[in-house]
Amino acid sequence: MREMDLPPDDLSAISRRSFLKGATQVAAAGGLMGASAPQDAAEPPALAEVETLSGSSAMELSVNGTVQSVEIEPRTTLLSALRTHMDPPLTGTKEVCGTGSCGACTVLIDGQPAYSCLTLAATCSGRPVTTVEGFGSPDAMSDVQQAFCDKDGMMCGFCTPGFVVATHAALERSPGADLDELKYELSGNLCRCGTYPHVFDAAQAVQQDRARGGEGR
Amino acid sequence: MSHSAKGSPASEPSWGKRSDLDVLNRDIPRVDGPVKATGQAIYTHDVRLPDMLWARLLIHPVPRAEIESIDLEAASEMPGVVHIEALKESGDTVRYHGDDAVLAVVAAETPEQAADALREIRVKATSLPPVVTRAQALEDDAPVVSRRRNADANVGRANERGDAARADAALAEAVAVVERTFEIPVQHHACLETHGHVVQPAPDDEPVTVYASTQSVGGTPRGLARTLGRDASRIRVLTPHMGGGFGSKFGPGLEGALAARVANTTGRPVHLMLTRADEFAIAGNRSGSRQTLKVGADSEGRLVGLKLEADKLGGVSGGSLPGPPYIYTVADDDAVSSKIRSVHTATDGSRAMRAPGHPQASFAMEAAVDELAYLLGMDLVEMRIRNLESDVHHRQLRRVAEEIGWAEHPHRDRPGTAVNGRAVGIGFGVSVWGPGGRSSRCDVTVRPDGSVVSATATQDLGTGARTYVAAIVAEELGLTVDMVEARIGDSDLPPSVTSGGSVTTGSSAPAIKDAAHKAREALEALVADVLGAPVGSYSWKGGRVSVRGDASRSLPWIAVCALLREPLVAQGEFRDFLHEGRIHGAQAARVEVDTLTGRVKVLKMVTCQDQGLPLNRLALRSQINGGMIQALSYGLLEQRVFDEQDGFLLSDTLDLYKLAGAQEIPEMVALIDDEDERPSVCGMAEAPVIPGHSAIAGAIHNACGARLTRMPFTADNVLETLYGKI
């Protein structure tokens, strides 16, 4: 992570080039942010020679199976990209803490759960992102979403999208998790209303349904 | 034109016999579950309007300061900035951490641009002594931070009740006496959706639309009328969904006023939601307290005397604490005395929070009851039953005692001791609440095509209100819940109450019932021409109306509605006899204490709660669980922390201000007290949050003899209580 070598006072001078080399090698392979993506990652240019860019550029995000070009800045989080830069905005993913403490912004990136508030959108180019909207709609809910409704795994509902995504991921990773393991798997998400017991009920109902051969939609 | 369901009804509405109910008193999945579970529910945070500006606040980081200058020049030239204004000027003072510390507001084209501009505001200020703790506020030369008129100290006038000499005399004769000082920190509501609004300005002849994360969709227009310079009737407030309130979201607050002002000034929609740090700084809290409580009992375990001296710590507000004795009865009323005062600090004022003042009072009182029982060698449950007047509490305590395994517990009249550093204990607590009910209205519309709408300007804080707005009508008309559309969260709908103090259900449910009943009787008047029986002699079940006692004379719902030539609108009002507002609860907790590390693990919590007719058992159990969990979180984890030297709020993230997560959740049992057969409804959300932390503290004491007098029950607190200063 070359930019981390910079003295703190120079952080504002991080160029898009050094940023890309350091932080987004995976994304760069996907042709991140247009034509000026780095061609040679071998030699870091001297700071004085770097062209410092700011402002927004277009990049492609693949969200819920649809590829969309969005105008973002290097510092734009995936959460902000989803909620304020997509058209139409995808507001199911919630912002609660902004510091990776609560899990309300949980999405899947490459199939793995991640806090979108701590993920730079620029690192997601070429990587499939799945948000709560990608799992189902009110008329065609996933089994997890249906179980959250049946077991009343929500009160105010603001944490619910994060819990739904986290539950999908937990049951993917640990399909046979016992209650303690489920609590561990869901410990990255906070609920203020205190709905946890019904969330656990929902997760266990899905486990039972899938074990009986029910289709995990 | 429409049919109107007026005139004198043939019968009064009633909740009916419980055995006859098809919809209510059952598990009803909430009607907005699918939109919430799929991310389609639109909260105020999620509102996106064309041309919308994003606004942010600059909050001064220390509670007290003299402002030398606020330089907006660089910030105003930042990209995307459309509006920027300072709320203080040179020579002004920041008087407390809270809305008075808001120095500026910025509105820009994107949220990132607003944040960037905020960072470019240059503030020169001189910090003043912070006054963030009780001790600082009470120092002889403490600056006066109280906002009371003519205040010359940070202490409010003490509310003194009873005769201290009589209490002293009774305590002198008591067989057992306990005296303790309890310290309770400030708790935050920590609503997951922060406070805020989206304001869409409009020409003078059109209504202004305001999306608000509020507990008072009906009251918010009045709160914004002056700022918007128009009558409240021309402000429409929408709260389609809201992400938690817990008592902190009654008025628009400074953030709402600023959103309205910026929208007025710029002529563009403005999105102003607090950041998480803002929320901790200016969005209210549950007041802390310091209570010295002395209670005595006779040899039979009856409480005979009580003295309380308490300081409420509500920052610049007064704080809450009900007078003693809390729930329990002291044999002689005259042997109770109390002196309760507010001590003001330069911190954000307390607001209502789920049972304001009650969890604080519970913590001290339940501790005293436990300790007196041990002094007398008496069973903790028996001690409580002897000092509680209500039979309801007696049966509820026995019920939770049975569920928690009290009879098999080895030490019920004395604390236990640790074995290999592990100790298990059980504790108890009780609650009461008077939820009340008041004026509320509801319109039920039945259309010729069979569709039904139930509409009232209430709001669903997560309680499930939206679901019973539909379910009550479905029950009355023999329909399924999905056949009734619930319309709430809109100030243009028939007015209902502000959701505070658990009044929502007791107010709105009777009005919904009344409207549904009027609609039913109006429909029966039409059906009478076809089926021949008079109004009042029909049964509405399973989507059909039939003559009671003659199932062969019936019509399906769709045929009934086809008799309408235009929509039928039935207007319901609050009916006092459909609600009753006195409720009770009892809780028990089982914990394990690691006496080597001080770690407390709650193993199980049980509540038994009454509320009259349960409208929706599924949502009710969840709300009881939620009360227990918030109390667990309050007891084990939550604490606002200020830096005492400089006054910085240290606990302003969800990493540093801890909330209970999945791994803290014990086995939970929410028992609905079905022995309560009152034919009435009421809200109950306040009650189950009252005694949970008290029961946990009692269980810690019962486990290992450590009586914690300070919250939260962190490991260091447990170790210090067990072994002295660590």
Local confidence band at B688 (pLDDT 50, 70, 90 cut-offs): very high
As a whole number of angstroms, the distance between CA B565 and CA A87 comes to 44
The pLDDT, as a whole number, for residue A3 is 36
B257–A contact, CB cutoff 8 A: no
B90 and B204 within one domain = yes
B635–A contact, CB cutoff 8 A: no
CA torsion, points B276, B282, B285, B289, in degrees to nearest 10? 130
Residue B153: inside a domain: no
Residue B30, min C-alpha distance to chain A (Å)? 7
| Token representation of residue B569 | 């609108």
B118 and B76 within one domain = yes
Asked if A144 contacts A202 with a C-beta cutoff of 8 angstroms, the reply is yes
Residue A73: inside a domain: yes
Provide the chain A residues 143-202 that lie in CB contact (below 8 A) with chain B: 145-146, 148-150, 152-161, 164, 182-184, 186-187, 189-200
Comparing CA positions, the residue from B341, B292, B188 lying closest to residue B709 is: B292
| Boundary of a domain, candidates A81, A113, A131 | A131
- Which residues 6+ apart lie within 8 Å of B692 measured at CB? B429, B587, B589, B605, B607, B627, B628, B629, B630, B631, B632, B634, B635
Cβ burial, residue B246 (10 Å; 0-12/13-18/19+): buried
Comparing CA positions, the residue from B355, B512, B394 lying closest to residue B442 is: B512
As a whole number of angstroms, the distance between CA B260 and CA B221 comes to 11
A50–B contact, CB cutoff 8 A: no
Instruction: Write the pLDDT tens digit of every residue in A121-162.
Output: 999 999 999 999 999 999 999 999 999 999 999 999 999 999
CB environment B646-673: b (16+ within 10 A), e (fewer): ebbbebbbbeebbbbbbebbbebbbbbb
B24 and B50 within one domain = no
The pLDDT, as a whole number, for residue B2 is 45
- Which residues 6+ apart lie within 8 Å of A47 measured at CB? A6, A10, A13
Strand pairing class (B235-238; B303-313)? unpaired
CA-CA distances (angstroms) from residue B101 to B185, B195, B197, B346?
Answer: 22, 17, 20, 10
Instruction: Give B132 or A5, the one with higher predicted confidence.
Output: B132
B114 and B10 within one domain = no
Residue B415 has pLDDT above 50, yes or no: yes
Instruction: Write the pLDDT tens digit of every residue in B158-196.
Output: 999 999 999 999 999 999 999 999 999 999 999 999 999
The type of residue at A134 is: G
Q: Tell me, what CATH number does B564's domain have? A: 3.30.365.10
Provide the chain B residues 152-191 that lie in CB contact (below 8 A) with chain A: 190-191
How many H helices and E strands in chain A?
8, 5
Quick check: A194 and B626 CB within 8 A? yes
| Boundary of a domain, candidates A88, A108, A131 | A131
Report the SS3 class of residue A48: helix
A157: chain B residues, CB-CB within 8 Å: 32, 36-37, 41, 241, 243, 462
Whether residue B614 has a cis bond before it, omega within 30° of 0: no
Which residues form the domain of B454? 3-30+436-578
B654: chain A residues, CB-CB within 8 Å: 96-97, 99, 101-102, 190
B50 and B25 within one domain = no
Residue B197: inside a domain: yes
Quick check: B39 and A133 CB within 8 A? yes
Report the SS3 class of residue B441: strand
Q: How many domains does chain A have?
A: 3
| Token representation of residue B151 | 């205040």
B354–A contact, CB cutoff 8 A: no
Residue A115, min C-alpha distance to chain B (Å)? 14
The pLDDT, as a whole number, for residue B276 is 98
Quick check: B192 and A98 CB within 8 A? no
Residue B389 has pLDDT above 90, yes or no: yes
Residue B295: inside a domain: no
A149 and A90 within one domain = no
Quick check: B654 and A99 CB within 8 A? yes
B626–A contact, CB cutoff 8 A: yes
B624: chain A residues, CB-CB within 8 Å: none
B121 and B16 within one domain = no
| Token representation of residue A157 | 């509902």
Q: How many domains does chain B have?
A: 2
Quick check: B629 and A152 CB within 8 A? no
Residue B471: inside a domain: yes
Whether residue B201 has a cis bond before it, omega within 30° of 0: no
Of A75, A101, A194, the CB nearest to B625: A194
ipTM over 0.95? The verdict is yes
Quick check: B192 and A91 CB within 8 A? no
A170 and A200 within one domain = yes
| Boundary of a domain, candidates A131, A146, A167 | A131
Q: Tell me, what CATH number does A165's domain have? A: 1.10.150.120
State mean pLDDT over B708-713. 98
B25 and B56 within one domain = no
Residue B454, min C-alpha distance to chain A (Å)? 21
Residue A126: inside a domain: yes
Quick check: A155 and B275 CB within 8 A? no
Residue whose pair of structure tokens reads 């105020």 in the numeric block:
B44
Instruction: Write the pLDDT tens digit of every residue in B7-61.
Output: 445 799 999 999 999 999 999 999 999 999 999 999 999 999 999 999 999 999 9
B84 and B199 within one domain = yes
Residues lower than pLDDT 50 in chain A: 1-41, 216-217
CA-CA distances (angstroms) from residue B57 to A100, B60, B274, B420, B474?
Answer: 22, 10, 8, 54, 46
| Boundary of a domain, candidates B262, B282, B302 | B282
B55 and B24 within one domain = no
Residue A217: inside a domain: no
B8 and B124 within one domain = no
The pLDDT, as a whole number, for residue A34 is 37
A188 and A148 within one domain = yes
A203 and A140 within one domain = yes
B219 and B115 within one domain = yes
| Boundary of a domain, candidates B553, B578, B603 | B578
CB-facing half-sphere around the CA of B2: CA atoms within 13 A: 16
Residue B669: inside a domain: no
Local confidence band at B726 (pLDDT 50, 70, 90 cut-offs): low
A45 and A83 within one domain = no
The pLDDT, as a whole number, for residue A51 is 59
| Token representation of residue B261 | 């002002």
A89–B contact, CB cutoff 8 A: yes
Quick check: A187 and B464 CB within 8 A? no
Quick check: A137 and B38 CB within 8 A? yes
Residue A216: inside a domain: no
A135–B contact, CB cutoff 8 A: yes
Can you name the residues that pair with B209 across neighbouring β-strands?
B200, B236
Which residues form the domain of A75? 59-131
Report the SS3 class of residue B375: helix
Instruction: Write the pLDDT tens digit of every residue in B235-246.
Output: 999 999 999 999
State mean pLDDT over B650-655. 97
Local confidence band at B436 (pLDDT 50, 70, 90 cut-offs): confident
B50–A contact, CB cutoff 8 A: no
At residue B113, what are phi and psi to the nearest 5 degrees? -65, -35
As a whole number of angstroms, the distance between CA A48 and CA B3 comes to 80
Of A75, A76, A159, the CB nearest to B192: A159
Among A80, A99, A155, A165, which would you mutate to test the B interface (most chain B Cβ atoms within 10 Å of its Cβ)?
A: A155
Q: Give the start-end residues of each E strand in B174-302.
A: 176-184, 196-200, 208-212, 235-238, 270-273, 288-297
The pLDDT, as a whole number, for residue A197 is 98
B573 and B483 within one domain = yes
Q: Tell me, what CATH number does A107's domain have? A: 3.10.20.30
Using the 8-state DSSP alphabet, how is residue B25 labeled?
A: T
Residue B552: inside a domain: yes
Residue B40, min C-alpha distance to chain A (Å)? 6
CA-nearest residue to A157 within chain B is B36
B529–A contact, CB cutoff 8 A: no
Residue B150: inside a domain: no
| Boundary of a domain, candidates B249, B282, B315 | B282
B111–A contact, CB cutoff 8 A: yes
A150 and A195 within one domain = yes
Instruction: Write the pLDDT tens digit of every residue in B526-539.
Output: 999 999 999 999 99
At residue B371, what are phi and psi to the nearest 5 degrees? -65, -40
DSSP track, B119-181: HT-EEEEEE-----SHHHHHSTT------STT--SSBPPPEEES-HHHHHHHHHH-SEEEEEE
Say what angle helices B617-636 and B692-704 make with each other, to 10 degrees: 50
B190: chain A residues, CB-CB within 8 Å: 192
As a whole number of angstroms, the distance between CA B15 and CA B578 comes to 7
Asked if A215 contacts A136 with a C-beta cutoff of 8 angstroms, the reply is no
A151 and A127 within one domain = no
B392–A contact, CB cutoff 8 A: no
Residue B699: inside a domain: no
A44 and A87 within one domain = no
The pLDDT, as a whole number, for residue A38 is 43
Residue B438 has pLDDT above 80, yes or no: yes
